[in-house]
Structure 1
Amino acid sequence: MPHPVPNDRIERLLAAERQLYRDRNPVSAGLAEKASRHFPGGVPLHWMKDWGTPFPLAVKRAAGAEVTDADGHVMADFCLGDTGAMFGHAPGPVVDAITAAAPRGLTAMMPSEDAGAVGALLADIFALPFWQVTQTASDANRAVIRWARAITGRAKILVFQGCYHGQVDDTFVTIGADGQTTVRPGLLGQAVDLAATSVCVPFNDIDAALAALAGGDVALVLTEPALTNTAMVLPKEGYLDALAAACRAAGTLLCIDETHTISTARGGYAKAHGLAPDFLVVGKPIAGGLPAAVFGFTDAIEARMRAVDAERPAGYSGIGTTLSGNMLQLAAMRATLEAVMTEAAYVHMLALSTEVADGLSASIAAYGLPWSVTRLGARAEIVHSPTPLTDGAHAYRTVDHDLEGAIHLFLLNRDVIVTPFHNMTLVSPATTPDHVARLVTAFDQALDALSG
């Protein structure tokens, strides 16, 4: 057991908090019942059932770092749409840009007048010269994988156990009991063996990566700079530099997926740490919460993309969707890059995230629990391990879904929202010291309740 809290105590707390949730949220209960007549589980996306609540919580309004639910509770939001609203809900400059742009048209399958400005901003902020826009980071990763295979003439991609790359078929693999790559358990509707073209190895193990690259058949290594789909795993000192060198030696392209690690700094983890990937994916908050993502690439990659594109027959490339790069996206993205994703915003976010991590750590220490807090920029996460996690397998061993659920629901009932998985927190430019104090106090109360 990765924690000293007895299971029966967790179960009692869960039962009490579920009843409190029902008592607090009669309007949400009614709305969920109505929605369930046409949406399974009462939600338009099945992930919205994953909050561990008796019924979905309906949002009435989200602004800045606060969410007001249908029953009128005003909650400090440290989930922020799981990074989609990392710069706060409805940032003023983005709302103004959308309001001004919408009457001029939403989409036309042609570039708007904002395209040049957005491209220049992306190049400056993320230190890559060329970019493309997609609807989601999943779309961006799929495009990168297809381009990498086309450029290299190789079929395989390499990912790491516990990675997050959205809804991308090729990445739904893990390491089986026999040490071989296998399809992730629980994957629905999978008809082909992903292990035929995807290789999964442990994060932070450079020897494993070198062995997988030695065959010369891997087109792309796709990785987050820190794993975020499990409990958070940070890279060991020098690991990512060694991985990049291994890719260059093997003729394999490298893509850094900053879907979640954009919390690190303005320009993301790659820029902050001097990485030089062939591709970079940025999603979630790039347009202030409006659905959008981008992938960037080097001069050399752009030249190779042009070469393979010139050689193929005319027709659909399999890359891109009609709404990608639409007029409204570009307007929101420009406002985000110019006025929201600023150095000043990150200074504020990183300072308060340090207070979050310190406060949570102090509570953990006060109750003598063998847990810790892992932090990456504006992101901080409670980890049920006294030492930093080393790889995906280590992270899996620490996870206790009931314990995480009990803490999450306890906080939610005290008007504090954290992610419903791994109890991760994010700080936005709109987050205040009062929000942080509310989180730390509620977490301390949760530990008191669990301690008996």
Structure 2
Amino acid sequence: MDSSRIRRLLAEEIAASTARNPRSRDAYGRAQHLFGRVPMTWMNKNAGAFPLYLESARGARVQDIDGHEYIDFCLGDTGAMAGHSPAPVAEAVDLRFREKGGATAMLPTEDAEWVGAELTRRFGLPRWSFSLTATDANRWAIRLARAVTDRPKILVNSYSYHGSVDESLIVVGPDGRSTSRPGNVGAPCDVTLTSRAAEFNDLDGLERELAHGDVAAVLMEPALTNIGIVLPEPGYLEGVRELTRRHGTLLINDETHTFSAGPGGCTRAWGLDPDILTIGKAIGGGIPSGAYGLSQQLADRLLDRADLDLVDMGGVGGTLAGNALSVAAMRATLEHVLTDEAFARMCALSERFEDGVRKGIESYGLPWSVSRLGARTEYRFAAPAPRTGTESAACADADLEDFLHLWMANRGVLMTPFHNMALMCPDTTEADVDTHTALFAQALAALAG
């Protein structure tokens, strides 16, 4: 594509966005007491000159403070996979917080056992503990893995996403060796002291790293997500499980984003058998929630260790983790919203979305690809689809991404700002999907001239 044309079209969309969103522009300009002018600096990852400001959200719709309504395919980058403020969750939260009270009483509730049993039904692991975020679930899983293996290092896939876990900010460098991920902020130490990295879909590279004998656990997404969907090749995940067992290394599946694959994530859909599973975001229906599950053998090993302080200051847990409000939200979400039936509808809509994008790409003969993981679809500016995280990172095009995101937003559709991701929720409709398909075709026509 003509890069100068892309930049010109992007400038036109930035100007249109600025003109149509004066209240968001002014709110951003007045934000003098926030670091980076936003509640979290990642909110500056937007295609326009300023972020849109939220007024309200329900189901698959978002309204900004300038009065514009959007079809929301971003859905909180998975956090709102259940849709915005689903009624069963709102009712459960209201009952727990306003009528019953005691959200942070530091006492367990009976809801917790229900949630644990449901997570076991969905994912297979029999023992569960709760956190407020998937990042914390990953941190605590890592500590437990180090404790039982007495090994110092964690292995992750290059350009995988596990929140802000220090050990995960490592990639495979151009020379094939592990190195700090570009942009890593204030690392407490050289990340190669705590971690190793291997490319996704590279069993030889994984085996080389595990052969050092110092890896406590492989922390991985069953499919890469936050760098664009990278799907596992046939036999890869089975090979990972065999290699980890052979080398005495635990396997942690991070299903926070790959939960989109179905009601039990990739673990259930693909028959995986991890030692630990971590998840967050979506299971709370918009209320901060996270969890990690343990195999029976691993849970027994940990509880039999009298030297591990799992109750007080051992470094696993937090005062608000497992609080009554979050647990009530998790139960309502899993019991009434993100049901098996809901996932079937969401995945069908995502397939419709995928078909629409693919037809647009094929009609212009573009060297792009589209990949789907259940209710989640993404397109990349490369064909065939990237098979590793490094390949996927290399095919990014900031101007082209920004143009497509702003083109959609200026016409009432929100995509995830970090990448070209669209997620379906129980309230998404076929008409919503078809609106994106039409706008995507129009965007490609504009790019083609």
TM-score (norm 1): 0.97
Partner Cα separation in structure 1 for residue 172 and residue 241 of structure 2: 22
Partner Cα separation in structure 2 for residue 411 and residue 445 of structure 1: 10
**1:61 is matched with which residue: 42, 56, 64?**
56
Partner Cα separation in structure 1 for residue 203 and residue 188 of structure 2: 31
Q: CA deviation at 1:155?
A: 0.6
**2:135 is matched with which residue: 123, 138, 143?**
138
**Deviations for 1:37-74, whole angstroms, at most 9, x for unmatched residues?**
21134311111110122111011111000101111111
Unmatched 5+ stretches in structure 2: none
Instruction: Check whether the contact 1:67–1:76 (CA below 8 A) recurs between aligned residues.
Output: yes
Instruction: Check whether the contact 1:226–1:232 (CA below 8 A) recurs between aligned residues.
Output: yes
Please tell me whether residue 311 in structure 1 is matched to residue 307 in structure 2: yes
Partner Cα separation in structure 1 for residue 290 and residue 47 of structure 2: 29
**Deviations for 1:264-311, whole angstroms, at most 9, x for unmatched residues?**
011110111111100001111111011011000110010111123x12
Tell me which amino acid in the other structure corresponds to 1:6.
D
1:147 maps to 144
Instruction: Check whether the contact 1:266–1:343 (CA below 8 A) recurs between aligned residues.
Output: yes
1:17 maps to 13
Partner secondary structure for residue 210 of structure 1? helix
Partner secondary structure for residue 104 of structure 2? coil
- Which deviates further from its counterpart, 311-320 or 388-397? 311-320
Tell me which amino acid in the other structure corresponds to 1:93.
P
**2:96 is matched with which residue: 96, 101, 123?**
101
Partner secondary structure for residue 244 of structure 2? helix
1:219 maps to 216
2:168 maps to 171
**2:44 is matched with which residue: 42, 49, 70?**
49
Partner secondary structure for residue 311 of structure 1? coil
- Which deviates further from its counterpart, 334-343 or 175-184? 175-184
Instruction: Check whether the contact 1:408–1:420 (CA below 8 A) recurs between aligned residues.
Output: yes
Partner Cα separation in structure 2 for residue 354 and residue 407 of structure 1: 20
Instruction: Check whether the contact 1:231–1:399 (CA below 8 A) recurs between aligned residues.
Output: no
Partner Cα separation in structure 1 for residue 111 and residue 226 of structure 2: 34
**Deviations for 1:86-128, whole angstroms, at most 9, x for unmatched residues?**
1111111000100111122221122123122222112112211
Tell me which amino acid in the other structure corresponds to 1:219.
A
Instruction: Summarize the alignment of residues 63-78 of structure 1 with structure 2, pairs less than 5 Å apart.
Output: 63-78=58-73
Please tell me whether residue 295 in structure 1 is matched to residue 281 in structure 2: no
2:116 maps to 119
Instruction: Check whether the contact 2:338–2:426 (CA below 8 A) recurs between aligned residues.
Output: no
2:275 maps to 278
1:40 maps to 35
Instruction: Check whether the contact 1:93–1:340 (CA below 8 A) recurs between aligned residues.
Output: yes
Unmatched 5+ stretches in structure 1: none
Superposed CA RMSD in Å reads 1.2
Partner Cα separation in structure 1 for residue 126 and residue 97 of structure 2: 29
Q: Percent of aligned pairs with the same residue?
A: 47
Q: CA deviation at 1:29?
A: 1.4
Q: CA deviation at 1:218?
A: 1.0
Q: CA deviation at 1:191?
A: 3.6
- Which deviates further from its counterpart, 290-299 or 228-237? 228-237
Structure-2 change in CA distance of 1:159 and 1:102 (3 Å): same
Partner Cα separation in structure 2 for residue 45 and residue 398 of structure 1: 27
Partner Cα separation in structure 2 for residue 315 and residue 431 of structure 1: 44
**Deviations for 1:400-426, whole angstroms, at most 9, x for unmatched residues?**
111111111111101000111221110
- Which deviates further from its counterpart, 314-323 or 214-223? 314-323
Instruction: Summarize the alignment of residues 325-340 of structure 1 with structure 2, pairs less than 5 Å apart.
Output: 325-340=322-337
Partner secondary structure for residue 114 of structure 1? helix
- Which deviates further from its counterpart, 391-400 or 11-20? 391-400
Please tell me whether residue 256 in structure 1 is matched to residue 256 in structure 2: no
Q: CA deviation at 1:315?
A: 4.9
Instruction: Check whether the contact 1:42–1:56 (CA below 8 A) recurs between aligned residues.
Output: no
**Deviations for 1:294-346, whole angstroms, at most 9, x for unmatched residues?**
000110010111123x1246851011111100010011011011111111101
Please tell me whether residue 382 in structure 1 is matched to residue 402 in structure 2: no
Tell me which amino acid in the other structure corresponds to 2:214.
D
Tell me which amino acid in the other structure corresponds to 2:132.
Q
Q: CA deviation at 1:143?
A: 0.4
1:82 maps to 77
Q: How many residues align?
A: 446
Tell me which amino acid in the other structure corresponds to 1:8.
S
Instruction: Check whether the contact 2:159–2:170 (CA below 8 A) recurs between aligned residues.
Output: no
- Which deviates further from its counterpart, 203-212 or 119-128? 119-128
Partner Cα separation in structure 1 for residue 236 and residue 2 of structure 2: 37
Partner secondary structure for residue 57 of structure 1? coil
Partner Cα separation in structure 1 for residue 126 and residue 293 of structure 2: 7
Partner secondary structure for residue 49 of structure 2? coil
Partner secondary structure for residue 281 of structure 1? strand
Instruction: Check whether the contact 1:13–1:406 (CA below 8 A) recurs between aligned residues.
Output: yes
TM-score (norm 2): 0.97
